[in-house]
Structure 1
Amino acid sequence: MTTEAAAALYEAQHIYQMQGRPIAIYNPHDKPVSDLPVIYGFNNGGRPGWFSGALISQDGKWLGGHLCSSEAYMPHDLGILEGSRPDRHEEFKEHYPDGYRMEFVGYDDVLSHEGIKKAAELADEKEKQATSQSKG
């Protein structure tokens, strides 16, 4: 276990290193970036040391998550920042082979974020359809 002071120093160093890094965009057909579908990364809550980072596509597909000690680590750990987590981007490219853009939403804005609300509604609809088909 690390001390609180060491953890705070490490987090500050991480924030400094990530500062100014652009958001990851995959755009193989050079479309206008605003036309690309979005993959949302967000802080889904928790408590200090145990925050749940989550990823959902604009069309409602769950694309993973990550347990983080602080929201400050989420944009890197979820693959939101350019050059971070190339392993995650392989799955993202499978889901959106024609391109996508990333967006991170902090905990304070998740419940009011229209894009995440719509993606969650679509995910719920897909779940209900899958459940009714398995019963039918």
Structure 2
Amino acid sequence: MEGQKLTQKQTEEAALMKRQRKEREEDMKSAMLRKPNLRPKFGYSRSRVAQLSKPKCDTMEDNTRPIPIVPWGNQEPLQPLKAATLKANPSKRIEALAVPKKSFVKPELVPYDLYVYSCGRSSPIQKKQGENHQ
């Protein structure tokens, strides 16, 4: 009896495997006959164009947002200086770093005054016309 039960169980498994194989083959045939899912012929879909037409939201915070337009040559600081900064005394290291590099340009070739305390080489800072400095 045990030999017959094993063979009966084996035949059921074989029939199940045969059915599953047949179902897979049918699925493959139907998949080959289906039309492929293609994008529209001309450009993007309307929903995608509508999505792309909306501007991105501004995620910058106020303190990280760049200053809109700074005219070059404006000698005012980008942000106002604090009173404590104006009263502070620089260290010897800061004073040493504030000394400009030596300029090898002949003074006759420079038609305007050079201001000593500038970054790197002493750069010419021209006065605006009609501006009076004391």
Both structures adopt the same fold (TM-score exceeding 0.5):
no
TM-score under structure 2 normalisation? Answer: 0.18
TM-score under structure 1 normalisation? Answer: 0.18
Kindly name which structure, 1 or 2, has the bigger radius of gyration based on alpha carbons.
Answer: 2
Q: By percentage of residues, which structure has more strand?
A: 1
Greater RCO, 1 or 2 (C-alpha within 8 Å, sep 6+): 1
